[in-house]
Amino acid sequence: MMQTKKFVDHPNSMDTIMSLMMSLKMTTLCLLLDTAKLFTLLMDIMKVLWQ
């Protein structure tokens, strides 16, 4: 009985780790995209100012 429980617990913890990693990846991607958007916006403003 205990061995079965251990076997069941292990994949669950792995799933949790995997989902955490996935959400972390998504957050990082979103942050990178936001930074890129901000950078593009800044470049556009600079172009307008230099004209």
pLDDT of residue 17: 85
Sign of the torsion angle spanned by Cα atoms 12, 13, 15, 16: positive
Specify the length of the chain in residues.
51
Give me the mean pLDDT over the 27-44 stretch: 95
Question: Which of residues 16 and 1 earns the better pLDDT score?
Answer: 16
Predicted structure pTM score: 0.54
Contacting residues for 22 by C-beta, under 8 A, at least 6 apart: none
Average pLDDT over residues 12-39: 90
pLDDT at res. 31: 94
Q: What is the pLDDT of residue 3?
A: 58
Please, is 27 exposed, middle or buried when counting C-beta atoms within 10 Å of its C-beta (0-12, 13-18, 19+)? exposed
